[in-house]
Copies of this chain bind each other. A is one copy, B any other.
Amino acid sequence: MNDLETIFHPRSIALVGVSRKASNSGGGPDFLVGLTGRGFHEHRPLYLVNPNADEIAGLPCYPSLLDCPGPVDHVISLVPASVAPALVEQCGEKGVRSIHFFTAGFAESGEEAKAAAERDLIQGAREAGLRVIGPNCLGMYVPSDRISFNADFPEQSGPMFVLSQSGGNALSIIGGLGRRGARCSKGISFGNGRDINVPQLFEYAADDPESEIVVAYLEGIGDGRALFAALKHCAAKKPTIILKGGLSAGGAAAASSHTASLAGSAEVFDALCKQTGAMMVETLEELEDLVVALGTGARSVRGSEAKMLVTGGGYSVLAADAVARRGVTLPALTEPTRQTLRERIPVAGNSIRNPVDFSFVDDRDNAAGPIAEVMALAPEGDMLLITTPFVVRAQTSGSEASPEDHEGLTKRDQETLELLARLQRESERPVMVVDRGWSPMGGSESSPELLQAAYENGIGIYPSMERAARAVELLLTWRRRRGGLPEII
């Protein structure tokens, strides 16, 4: 545990350079709303610094950091780059422990003078005894301490530690995974990362008892040796997922403009992940799906053979092709399994091969559960991929809420989730749900309540068969590549 622990838990915060404009959600990120919306100021001192305002959002403003009436642990800097050195000096005087520079306009500009200003700024901070987050970033998200740089992030804590050089991608990761049920211990957007950097954050996450899954969006590799050691430490203890931006020439140029990062090659990065036991993903979608898989029963998948239960013949053909692209194959069902299915599924319009299609069954809503049970408990395959229950759900979602419904879930949803959780437990193999309605072209999406309830029941819901299968492929590849490292899931 390094001194980051105290930085993640400041006893007081000053927002310096905050303005009325920054306090409404129309413009850029809104630290004030993130803090006051969570009630940070009701429990710990929150000071606003703005020489041109008496109050903002009902809180008093002070003309300078030095005028704040109590000690300040952490400063969030919204001042222009030209004023940043003076603020650092004041921080030293005030005894501040850490400063987060939302302030940008340093090395990422590509201008040597601005890169030099950044070096001077960090040097000044060191001399003032200050740790620096950034510059050019959104800073900390610590739900247990009511600190958030976004008003929409979950209020609950969970086991996921998120580190991201990009603020926008931190928003996508924490927000997107939040909607799918995953919760954070801490998140940090650290931009150019000139002081608090990637290796330190991996070291911290490795030892943090609140964090069980580590998720990183990186642009630069920085000190390769330190990164290797920290990643090895972290990935040996906890599933550690890395999305590396800038692996293409265009992406590397963008990364240089974005966080002044030297991106490094895809080969080097892949080797780094392989040697340290980390998991590498290529897109935000893969990252999300893999976290969902790690947070649910899919984490224990041991092989690449799937049983698939769907409605829709054409869909079943393309779904089988899609999972095959990700290395997931569909074994033939044994005769006893087919026999049991034949008793429940008529011939016309259906199929009892794998994929099993039961589009045309009387009272399909009530037939779905027993058919899923036959499929899950049959001895074939390493997992069950299923679209059915939620297709049923979508079809009945127009119905009136019943008295047993609560928290946005229908009684049928609840029963379906309980059934799938039981089948996953009894079959000792993952049940993964694909929501066919989850189409970017419109149509029904799973409600946030359903996604979260499913996740909490250990059932991951994925947007497509291919994405579910890709999560399995990533898990299996990772397991195979870990060599002598300890089994951690």
Interface residues of A (CB under 8 A from B): 26, 28, 80-81, 103-105, 108-111, 114, 136, 164-170, 172, 175-176, 179-180, 217, 219, 243, 245-251, 253-259, 282-284, 288, 308, 312-325, 329-330, 332, 347-349, 351, 353-355, 357, 359-360, 395, 438-442, 445, 448, 463, 466
B residues near A347, Cβ cutoff 8 Å: 105, 109, 111, 114
Nearest 7 Cβ contacts at the A-B interface: A166-B314, A248-B324, A105-B348, A169-B314, A250-B320, A257-B351, A258-B313
**A357, B253: Cβ atoms under 8 Å?**
no
Known: A253-B332, A440-B463. 7 other contacts (CB 8 A): A105-B347, A114-B347, A175-B441, A245-B314, A249-B330, A254-B313, A254-B320
Determine which of B136, B217, B253, B359 lies in contact with A330 in the assembled complex, contact meaning CB atoms within 8 Å: B253
CB atoms of A165 and B314 under 8 A apart: yes
A268 to B431, CA, bound (A): 35
Q: In the complex, what distance in Å separates the CA atom of A317 from the CA atom of B26? A: 24
B167 touches A250 (CB 8 A): no
Q: For the complex formed by this chain, how many copies does it contain in all? A: 2
Mind listing 20 A-B residue pairs with CB under 8 Å? A80-B348, A108-B351, A111-B347, A168-B312, A172-B315, A175-B441, A179-B441, A245-B314, A250-B308, A250-B354, A251-B320, A253-B320, A253-B353, A254-B313, A254-B317, A254-B320, A258-B351, A258-B357, A288-B441, A442-B445
Distance between Cα atoms of A251 and B466 in the complex (Å): 13
CB contacts (< 8 Å) of A136 on chain B: these are 349
Are A105 and B349 touching (Cβ within 8 A)?
A: yes
User: CA of A217 to CA of B322 in the docked complex: distance in angstroms?
Assistant: 15
Q: Chain B CB within 10 Å — which of A255, A348, A360 has the most?
A: A348
Which B residues are in CB contact (< 8 Å) with A348? 80-81, 103-105, 109
The answer for the CA separation of A320 and B246 in the assembled complex, in Å, is 8
Are A353 and B254 in contact (CB-based, < 8 A)? yes
Q: When the two chains form their complex, are residues B313 and A259 in contact, meaning their CB atoms are under 8 A apart? A: yes
The residues of B that contact A247 with a CB separation of less than 8 Å are 321, 324
Question: Measured between C-beta atoms, what is the minimum distance from A124 to chain B in Å?
Answer: 19
Contact B360 A28 (CB under 8 A): yes
Q: CA–CA, A436 to B329, complex, Å?
A: 33
Q: Let me know if A448 and B442 touch, CB within 8 A.
A: yes
* CA A263 to CA B162, docked complex, whole Å: 45
